[in-house]
């Protein structure tokens, strides 16, 4: 039995404590410890003081794409070859016997067991009641299948294609994976090993920022149905109440603006009552210090509309992400073919790896194709339109028919309406193909491609390459490792 340990990390100071704990743990050594460096800018070492000598020979650093923990964990487990992959977070501290307990948990598992979860212990202050943030982190102790300490059999991960990278946060991507692994016929069991997960520092508004997870709940519902919480063992939250309180606030403002004083007063009373109840539910179990009370009062006003906004945004996003597009619009250079700047020579055309097979999958699915391409070399006087068309014909000879081509020949300073990130090429392609822009997906290698899709109301998928800027990757709603992965994502796969 072999084990890889995978740790996605943003380079937090807690990573050093994690590796120091693993260094002194007795027990069988893992095949490797894969650190996935998921920082947007990796200009400094992950660890200022270097690796502990006891684990230095085991550590492999893999560069992530900075698109979230799901993608980082996928990069980590695919970088190794062990039979089991133990995922732990960079802010946990394994117990001294963790390695021994991990191997004991795995050693005698039946072949039908695809995963085993360790226990998560959140140490809380002994001298006072926990704060709202500390209680939030304490929820990890009862969270089913949390990847703060979760080991999966490689065969199970390969069967379901790993984590779904459409989940951009460390929230719900673990429950989604567990549901898919279980649906594939594997069993998930609890182990005996344990890690500690200290709450860590947090500012006053952390609970407001956490409401972004409501968008992930919307994606879970789209993927797994209305009963996903029951299936995943996730307790019901307060979203229904947050929606009601927000609706009361909106109704109060609207009624007041229209001069309906009685209705406005009733709606305002409902909002005040719901907000006060929510605030007290958070204040009562806490330390009730002046600062904690002030934080709970302020955030209890903001959380309901934040939760409602993220939920509604997530519902819209999930519908687009889960639904197959009727048409796929492809950028040319850097997406379909290797980018040769201002190329006018058909002999220099080289398709990107897997392009022909990926396009074949789209054609087999009955999805219409078109190409939308900026060719500023024409406007700069470096190319002619005839040369561009000759290259385009060569692309189709190598990759098969790609539908109509839409080319912008202008430079960025020409002020045209067609150059991406303008939506004009996307809109023209959709109209020519007889579909609405919202039924299209755009695959490209730059932020301009994704922005053109967004502006037109289409779905945008970024396929980064060596020239894609980190900020473009961070801003993209969906990112795929390559063209085949982008096509798989659009056809309903998870990456």
Active site residues per annotation: 331, 333
Contacts of 235 (CB under 8 A, 6+ apart): 229
| Rounded Cα–Cα distance for residues 317 and 3 (Å) | 37
CA distances 59 to 49, 74, 315, 359, Å, are 15, 17, 40, 38
Q: Which residues of 118-134 are buried (b: 16+ CB within 10 A; e: fewer)?
A: bebbbeeeeeeebbbbb
DSSP label at 52? -
DSSP label at 332? S
Q: With contact defined as beta carbons under 8 Å apart, do 139 and 131 qualify? A: no
10 Å CB burial of residue 142 (0-12, 13-18, 19+) is exposed
| Rounded Cα–Cα distance for residues 253 and 20 (Å) | 56
Q: Could you tell me how far CA 7 lies from the centroid of its own chain?
A: 16
267 token code pair: 């709606």
427 token code pair: 């809109």
């Amino acid at each position: 039995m072999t084990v890889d340990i995978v740790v996605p990390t943003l380079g937090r100071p807690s990573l050093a404590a994690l590796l120091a704990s693993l260094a002194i743990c007795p027990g069988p050594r893992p095949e490797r410890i894969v650190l996935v460096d998921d920082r947007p800018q990796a200009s400094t070492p992950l660890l200022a003081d270097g690796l502990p000598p006891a684990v230095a020979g085991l550590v492999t650093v893999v560069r992530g794409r900075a698109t979230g923990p799901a993608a980082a964990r996928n990069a980590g487990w695919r970088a190794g070859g062990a039979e089991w992959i133990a995922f732990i977070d960079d802010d946990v501290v394994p117990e001294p016997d963790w390695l021994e307990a991990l191997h004991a948990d795995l050693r005698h598992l039946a072949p039908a067991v695809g995963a085993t979860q360790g226990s998560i212990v959140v140490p809380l202050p002994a001298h006072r009641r926990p704060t709202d943030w500390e209680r939030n982190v304490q929820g990890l102790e009862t969270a089913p299948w949390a990847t703060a300490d979760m080991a999966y059999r490689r065969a199970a991960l390969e069967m379901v294609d790993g984590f779904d990278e459409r989940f951009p946060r460390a929230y719900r991507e673990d429950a989604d994976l567990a549901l898919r692994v279980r649906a594939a016929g594997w069993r998930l069991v609890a182990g005996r090993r344990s890690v500690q997960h200290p709450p860590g520092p947090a500012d006053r508004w952390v609970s407001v920022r956490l409401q972004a997870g409501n968008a992930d709940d919307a994606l879970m519902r789209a993927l797994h149905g209305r009963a996903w919480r029951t299936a995943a063992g996730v307790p019901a939250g307060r979203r229904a109440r947050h929606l009601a309180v927000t609706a009361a606030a909106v109704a109060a403002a609207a009624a007041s603006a229209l001069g309906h004083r009685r209705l406005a007063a009733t709606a305002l009373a409902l909002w005040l009552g719901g907000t006060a109840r929510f605030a007290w539910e958070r204040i009562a179990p806490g330390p009730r210090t002046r600062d904690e009370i002030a934080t709970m009062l302020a955030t209890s006003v903001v959380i309901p509309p934040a939760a409602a906004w993220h939920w509604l945004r997530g519902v819209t996003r999930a519908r687009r992400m889960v639904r197959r597009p009727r048409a796929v619009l492809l950028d040319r250079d850097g997406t379909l073919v290797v980018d040769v700047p201002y190329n006018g020579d058909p002999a220099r055309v080289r398709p990107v790896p897997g392009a022909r097979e990926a396009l074949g999958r789209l054609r087999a699915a009955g999805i219409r194709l078109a190409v939308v391409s900026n060719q500023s070399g024409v406007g700069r006087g470096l190319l002619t339109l005839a040369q561009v068309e000759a290259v385009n014909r060569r692309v189709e000879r190598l990759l098969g028919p790609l539908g109509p081509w839409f080319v912008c020949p202008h430079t960025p300073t020409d002020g045209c309406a067609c150059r991406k990130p303008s939506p004009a090429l996307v809109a023209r392609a959709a109209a020519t193909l007889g579909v609405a822009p919202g039924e299209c997906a755009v695959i490209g290698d730059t932020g301009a491609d994704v922005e053109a899709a967004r502006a037109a109301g289409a779905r945008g998928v970024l396929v980064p390459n060596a020239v894609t800027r980190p900020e473009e990757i961070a801003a993209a709603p969906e990112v795929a490792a390559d063209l085949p992965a982008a096509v798989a994502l659009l056809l309903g796969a998870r990456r």
